[in-house]
Structure 1
Amino acid sequence: MTNLANELGTEKISKLLVKQAVPASIGILVMSLNMIVDTIFVGQWIGSLAIAAITVVLPIVFLISSIGMGIGIGGSSIISRALGAKEFQKAFLTFGNQISLTLGLSVFFVFIGTFFCSSLLLLFGANGDILSPATEYFHVVLYGVPFLAFAMMGNPVIRAEGKPKFAMYAMIIPAITNIVMDIIFIKVMNMGMYGAGLATSLSYAACGLFIFGFFLSKKSELVIYPKYLLLNYKIVKETIQLGGVTVIRQGTISLLMIVLNATLFKYGGENAIAVYGIINRVMMFALFPVLGVTQGFLPIAGYNYGAKDSKRVKETIKTAIVYGTGVATIIFLGIIIFPETIAGIFTNDSSLISETPNALLLSFLATPVITTQLVGAAYFQAAGKALPALLLTLLKQGIFLIPLVYILPQFFGLNGVWFSFPIADIMATLITVIFLQKEVRKNLV
């Protein structure tokens, strides 16, 4: 653990953030490209209804697998602080408990998802002609969810160890697998939505197995000890408190998708849901550097907070916000200049191509300010402060966006949905700034 301590505790923050953020960004980029290519393939080779079907299914899949993400992020916060405080046994215990929790809970919820398949799809907006392709896709993808949950658990833990490149590899492998399998199953074998689902499920398996192999290898400093797989109440409680932020956030996103898909269908039918499917993929791709900065920020802030080095924590916050805001502004300018080109990449459906650019522009209006909100929420999570982390995480999707998506379309029609995104971003950022300034003055002196 010495090299990790030397790096996270002593290396220049700007250099350290780049070292952590670049691999995270590349991993997110490749994962986002995977989602985009997947959407392009199903849109071009199956049809616009296939885009709508995937838009409905994936929030359910990510809701189930977010259990692993929550356990991963909550546990990695404990691990980072434990390493900073030189409490290595606590780090091993936390890691073992993460594995048991993730596998047990994800398998349980896969059974629930299988049993209530039709009800879930209808709840999440599989209306009209969307239900049939969504059902076919959902049944296959569910089998890969435990692997995805394990991967989501393991990825932040790998970063907490100070191994961002391996975390990046873990995100690249499923992306390549999915693209190759999409070509084989959809284009070559003409397996339609079943083929798309099978390709996605196999990509999840590839990712989960790679991460499991990493933890078994000598490259990992966190060893899997059987005795630490037995759940420890104190560790489980702290992991759930911190990781619950992520699960609740994903739950809120899923609730948002229920409201959003229902509203989109009401004001624009299946086409509007497909348009949002494109916007959602663009958001994932366009914001990859900002999300990479946020992920790179977490282990640095957590380690130095555990080491009680307030000066380095404050410098990490400032550097992450400056870097992320600069990148977000460049992304914003690119979307303003090329909205039609972006829309045309995904589909040859003329109605989608004509409707998407306006929606894309409106949805991304507040992109330059989002880094502050993301880093602010991430700081409280890294510091082990579950309540403010939860509140700030829920600000955009839960507290502001869901009501706005419901209210604004009543006055502005479909444009009201797209306007909801920048308004929610700005309001959430303003409140995050207030919380962060108060925290710095009070506890980082």
Structure 2
Amino acid sequence: MSLPSIIGVLAYNLYNILDTLLLSQGAGMDAVGGVAVSFPLFMLLSAVASTLGTGAASVISRALGRGDDEQAARAAANTFLVFYATALAMTVVGLLFLEPILLTIGVTDSLLPVARGYTRIILIGAVTSTGFSNLIRAEGASRYAMAIWVIPLSVNTAFDILFIFGLEWGATGAALGTVIGQCVSMAMSVNFFLLSGRSRLRLAARHFRPDIRLIATILSTGLPSLAQWCGQGLAIIAANRMLRTFSTDPTVLGYGAGGDLPINTYGLASRILLLLLFPVTGLAQGIQPIIGFNFGAGLHSRVRHTLALSMAITIAYGIASTIITAVWAARPMMRLFTGDTATIRLGTQALAVMGVATAFTGIQQIHATFFQSIGRRTAAILVSVCGQLLVPPTLQVMGRFGLVGVWWAFPVAAVAGSLMSSLAVLHAIRGALRPSDGSHAAAPVP
């Protein structure tokens, strides 16, 4: 089940890279910077979708593990209701206060027009911003969940090429392409749950009656995802605001250039690093229904085995990707996007240093998914945010050492966060997941 999840996440991250490449080549680095610096608002939309999606997926997979299809159907229907209501509210508030919000999160005056044009369109299309792939994956339909990533992203990319190069709409064209792709994803979701007959959840009108207790369960179960997304957003905002101070003082760069170079470089480097994390993100999504199903069925040895295997894969991959990036790949990656010497030099440094955080960030993702899948909400929330919340204070301390200190703040915070999450997981394994409670039972793993 993890392979389709990894492919889906790979498609998304490849799209992010291709979108950034198209922007850099077709509209310049300021377009990349304007989109990247406004990314926390896009992350807020993703946070809502992820919170509801992962929370509902955990509830649904455990309900299906118990054979309670009715509970699973109610969970899915209530998730739809809450998401669309929340997305509509975010659109209204975001459009009303867009400019002050953008300035608060670190957008510079020179990047404001690009960020404003891009974000306005993204907010208008907020109601289409998820295809509920987590819910589809919770039913075991991992291939369809993969398709709901790959097909819309392919459509998105095609329209990006048309809008950015053909019509020369720059970042605005990229936003329009994103919304069109999201509409395709939404249509595929409607087809799966209501039209195709593939879903095990036979949704009816009665399932769409608001169930406050069930909604509260979904939200509380999904809070770790909300915490993780918000933590990442706060880290990005803190970095943008710190880098904005460097943008006003070109002497600290040492490259004879000031302006938006630090923010543009960080935006590009962070997009590339997201690609490095895709296998771990896909792995985490893939193990969620497996852990949830087997925990619901009392098969705790399979839960432990899944956790151990995913951790081994994550650590091995993190070490390999860090070495490859630092030794060989950083400079060629930057040259792919820009020919500017200052951006390449600064971006190579940023990638080599920030890439050290890959393994430790991946460890926290796996740990958060584990706690979320077994319904340990408080632990999952703490594990999700511990590393991210350390980024802003770490930036304040290490930013005194210049841009190199800014880059190193991310690995330092990730190491500390992974150590804390590891202690929490060890405590859970020794307590709740003892070998004696049903672990020998025979049952299929979805």
Which residue matches 1:127? 108
CA distance in 2, matches of 1:370, 1:240: 24
Partner of residue 346 from structure 1, selected from 337, 347, 358: 337
Three-state SS of the structure 1 residue aligned to 2:215 is helix
Partner amino acid, structure 2, of 1:408: M
Which residue matches 1:57? 38
CA distance in 2, matches of 1:389, 1:189: 46
Conserved 8 A contact 2:24-2:31: yes
Which residue matches 1:14? none
Matched, 1:413 2:402: yes
Partner amino acid, structure 2, of 1:421: F
Partner of residue 227 from structure 2, selected from 245, 248, 254: 248
Structure 1: 5+ residue stretches without partners: 1-19
Relative to structure 2, which stretch is displaced further, 361-370 or 384-393? 361-370
Change (3 A) 1:363 1:28: same
CA distance in 1, matches of 2:236, 2:69: 41
CA distance in 1, matches of 2:199, 2:340: 48
Matched, 1:102 2:93: no
Conserved 8 A contact 1:61-1:145: no
Which residue matches 2:385? 394
Which residue matches 1:319? 309
Shift in Å at residue 298 of structure 1? 0.6
CA distance in 2, matches of 1:423, 1:208: 39
Three-state SS of the structure 1 residue aligned to 2:405 is helix
Shift in Å at residue 423 of structure 1? 0.8
Which residue matches 1:200? 178
- Counting only pairs closer than 5 Å after superposition, residues 85-100 of structure 1 correspond to structure 2 as 85-100=66-81
Matched, 1:182 2:160: yes
CA distance in 2, matches of 1:347, 1:158: 39
Matched, 1:111 2:101: no
CA distance in 2, matches of 1:287, 1:173: 21
Matched, 1:260 2:239: yes
CA distance in 2, matches of 1:277, 1:223: 43
Percent identity of paired positions between Structure 1 and Structure 2: 28
Three-state SS of the structure 2 residue aligned to 1:359 is helix
Conserved 8 A contact 1:369-1:426: yes
CA distance in 2, matches of 1:36, 1:87: 41
Shift in Å at residue 211 of structure 1? 1.7
Partner amino acid, structure 1, of 2:425: L
Deviations 1:343-379 (A, max 9, x none): 1111222221121011111101243344332211111
Conserved 8 A contact 1:65-1:106: no
Partner amino acid, structure 2, of 1:432: S
- Counting only pairs closer than 5 Å after superposition, residues 11-50 of structure 1 correspond to structure 2 as 20-50=1-31
Shift in Å at residue 54 of structure 1? 0.6
Relative to structure 2, which stretch is displaced further, 365-374 or 90-99? 365-374
Partner of residue 289 from structure 1, selected from 273, 279, 282: 279
Three-state SS of the structure 2 residue aligned to 1:250 is helix
Deviations 1:128-161 (A, max 9, x none): 210011111111222222111x32xx11111111
Deviations 1:241-267 (A, max 9, x none): 111222232222222222110101112
Aligned length: 421
CA distance in 2, matches of 1:357, 1:61: 26
CA distance in 2, matches of 1:258, 1:328: 25
Which residue matches 2:200? 221
Partner amino acid, structure 2, of 1:273: I
Shift in Å at residue 329 of structure 1? 2.5
Between Structure 1 and Structure 2, the one with more helix by share is: 1
Which residue matches 2:420? 431
Relative to structure 2, which stretch is displaced further, 412-421 or 245-254? 245-254
TM score, norm. by length of structure 1: 0.92
Partner of residue 422 from structure 1, selected from 411, 421, 441: 411
Structure 2: 5+ residue stretches without partners: 248-258, 435-446
Which residue matches 2:136? 158
CA distance in 2, matches of 1:250, 1:372: 16
Which residue matches 2:253? none
Three-state SS of the structure 2 residue aligned to 1:364 is helix
After TM superposition, what 4+ stretches of structure 1 lie above 4 angstroms from structure 2?
none
Conserved 8 A contact 2:51-2:222: yes
Conserved 8 A contact 2:33-2:268: no
Conserved 8 A contact 1:359-1:415: yes
Shift in Å at residue 283 of structure 1? 1.7
Which residue matches 1:372? 363
